[in-house]
């Protein structure tokens, strides 16, 4: 299997962390492919009309995306039943935490595009303010309402941990730890996992 993308993308990193947690990292070749929001990458658009990363190419050359589907595929291939549990109540709680973590990453990437890549003078102040609120609200929710789920290693906690690491790396002005001690403790512990260390942004 191959996975296309750059670890700086939180969505790519979520998949790489999931691969480690499933014991599949050794079977997944990481093909580094960068993206720009205003330029199509022909290698990627040949695999996915959307041209976004990550894209996984199976051993039978079928493209799979997006990151949520790739994580589910990896868990399926590994026979892993803990990343996305089968049990109804637990399953949908974890999938909702996954949506929260991926949604947080999504707005953070959009915020970065708007504030660091869009030409000065074309930036939309109201959108920036609303997006800051959204980022803070998502982290407040994680800190207040997900304590039980944050104790386990699941697709949900992988998404949360990687989204927070992206904020540390790209949007450090958020200083999110100060008012969120439970989320901070979760992240500190989760970041020591081998899956996180092996995919650390500094590790390339
Ligand atoms: N929902 C997608 C989001 C993927 C995504 O937004 N990837 C960004 C990089 S972090 C990308 O490819 N951006 C390039 C573009 O928008 O053309 C997923 O979960 O995989």
Q: What is the pLDDT of residues 142-179, one digit of tens each?
A: 999 999 999 999 999 999 999 999 999 999 999 999 99
Residue 203 has what pLDDT? 46
CB 162 within 8 A of CB 17: yes
Domains contained in the chain, CATH given:
2-82 (3.40.30.10), 88-193 (1.20.1050.10)
Residue 202 has what pLDDT? 67
Q: What is the pLDDT of residues 9-18, one digit of tens each?
A: 999 999 999 9
> Omega of the bond prior to 121 within 30 degrees of 0, cis?
no
Residue 201 has what pLDDT? 84
CB 149 within 8 A of CB 156: yes
Q: Which of 8, 11, 18, 42 to mutate to test the pocket of ligand 1 (most atoms within 8 A of CB)?
A: 11
User: Is pLDDT above 50 for 204?
Assistant: no
pTM over 0.95: yes
Q: Which of 4, 13, 53, 101 to mutate to test the pocket of ligand 1 (most atoms within 8 A of CB)?
A: 53
Q: How many CA atoms lie within 13 A of 46 on its CB side?
A: 7
Question: What's the mean per-residue pLDDT of the chain?
Answer: 96
CB 9 less than 6 A from any atom of ligand 1: yes
Residue 6 per-residue DSSP state? -
């Amino acid at each position: 299997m191959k996975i296309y993308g750059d670890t700086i993308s939180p969505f790519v990193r979520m998949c790489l962390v999931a691969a480690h947690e499933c014991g599949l990292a050794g079977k997944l070749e990481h093909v580094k492919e960068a993206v720009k929001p205003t330029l199509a990458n022909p290698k990627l658009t040949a695999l996915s009309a959307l041209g976004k990363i990550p894209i996984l190419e199976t051993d039978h050359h079928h493209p799979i995306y997006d990151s949520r589907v790739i994580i589910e595929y990896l868990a399926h291939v590994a026979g892993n039943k803990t990343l996305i549990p089968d049990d109804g109540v637990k399953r949908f709680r974890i999938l909702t935490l996954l949506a929260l973590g991926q949604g947080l990453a999504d707005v953070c990437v959009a915020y970065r595009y708007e504030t660091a890549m869009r030409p000065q003078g074309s930036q939309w102040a109201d959108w920036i303010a609303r997006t800051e609120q959204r980022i803070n609200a998502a982290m407040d929710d994680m800190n207040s309402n997900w304590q039980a789920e944050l104790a386990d290693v699941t697709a949900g906690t992988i998404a949360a941990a990687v989204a927070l690491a992206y904020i540390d790396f790209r949007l450090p002005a958020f200083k999110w730890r100060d008012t969120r001690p439970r989320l901070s403790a979760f992240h500190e512990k989760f970041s020591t996992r081998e899956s996180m260390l092996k995919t650390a942004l500094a590790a390339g």
